[in-house]
Structure formats: C-alpha cells, structure tokens
C-alpha cells in the first residue's frame, strides 16, 4: 500500500493547479488505500480545471477520492500587481468577469482600476 507522501507526490500537479484556481483545502489524508482531497474553489471553472488535471495524472484516478465543491463567496487577498482582470482570469478563466468581482465588492471599491495589495475581495 502506498504511503500518504507517495500518493500526494503522484498528484502534485493537482495541488499546484489547486493553488492557481484558489483551492482551499479542508482535508488531505489517506482513506484506506486512496488519497482523499477535500476542498472548495471559488467557481465551477476552477473545479473543472482541477478535474482536468486529475485526469491528466491518472485517467482512472483509482487511488484518489476528490471532493471538490465550488463555493462562491470565498475571499481573495489582493497581491502586489493584481488587477481585477488578472484575478477574474485566474479564478474564472475569463478576464472580462472582472465586473462580477467589482460588483461584489462595491462596499470597498469605487473604481475597478483601483485595488490595493492586502485588500480582501469577495469572489462571487
């Protein structure tokens, strides 16, 4: 039986993609002989990217249980150099969805071109 570290290593690309699409991990452990990855992402698009990556690693994913749910309303910490378009592209696959992020954050944003590092934005 493979160890937790061995199976996690096999699915390393999934963890990397998870970081890219805003995966918030809730649980990672072995359930019997399978790796359990449980978490939430801000969009259905992110969930689909994770599943694409899982299938690239192992089309049968016979040693994996992935419980990934889209959960709008997660927060994102703005980093230096971020724009709403970059954030929308990263989490939704479409830079033009920056308006959705702006509209969800009008309580703290008055201009979509003016965000600051350190702000916490809601991802609709």
Instruction: Please tell me the predicted confidence (pLDDT) of residue 68.
Output: 97
Query: Over the stretch 27-59, which tens digit does the pLDDT of each residue have?
Result: 999 999 999 999 999 999 999 999 999 999 999
How would you class 115 by CB atoms within 10 Å of its CB: exposed for 0-12, middle for 13-18, buried for 19 or more? buried
Instruction: Please tell me the predicted confidence (pLDDT) of residue 39.
Output: 97
**Domain's final residue, options 70, 93, 115:** 70
Residue 1 has pLDDT above 90, yes or no: no
Q: How many CA atoms lie within 13 A of 106 on its CB side?
A: 4
121 φ, ψ (degrees, to nearest 5): -105, 140
* Rounded distance between C-alpha atoms, residue 14 and residue 68, angstroms: 12
Domain that holds residue 30: 4-70
The total domain count for the chain is 2
Instruction: Please tell me the predicted confidence (pLDDT) of residue 2.
Output: 84
* Rounded distance between C-alpha atoms, residue 55 and residue 64, angstroms: 11
What one-character DSSP code corresponds to residue 42?
S
Domain match, 21 and 61 both? yes
* Rounded distance between C-alpha atoms, residue 22 and residue 79, angstroms: 13
Nearest to 64 by CA among 53, 79, 74, 78: 53
**Domain's final residue, options 70, 85, 109:** 70
Domain match, 82 and 117 both? yes
Res. 94 pLDDT band, cuts 50 70 90: very high
> Looking at per-residue confidence, does 106 or 1 come out higher?
106
**Domain's final residue, options 70, 86, 114:** 70
Res. 73 pLDDT band, cuts 50 70 90: confident
Domain match, 64 and 91 both? no
* Rounded distance between C-alpha atoms, residue 98 and residue 62, angstroms: 37
Domain match, 80 and 65 both? no
């Amino acid at each position: 039986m493979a160890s937790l570290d061995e199976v996690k290593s096999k699915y390393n690309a999934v963890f990397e993609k998870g970081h890219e699409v805003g995966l918030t991990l809730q649980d990672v452990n072995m359930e019997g002989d399978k790796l359990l990855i449980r978490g939430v992402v801000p969009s259905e698009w992110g969930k689909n990217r994770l599943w694409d990556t899982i299938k690239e690693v192992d089309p049968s994913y016979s040693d994996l249980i992935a419980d990934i749910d889209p959960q709008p309303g997660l927060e994102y910490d703005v980093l230096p150099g971020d724009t709403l378009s970059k954030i929308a592209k990263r989490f939704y696959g479409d830079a033009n969805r920056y308006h959705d992020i702006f509209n969800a954050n009008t309580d703290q944003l008055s201009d979509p071109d003016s965000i600051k590092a350190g702000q916490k934005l809601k991802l609709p």
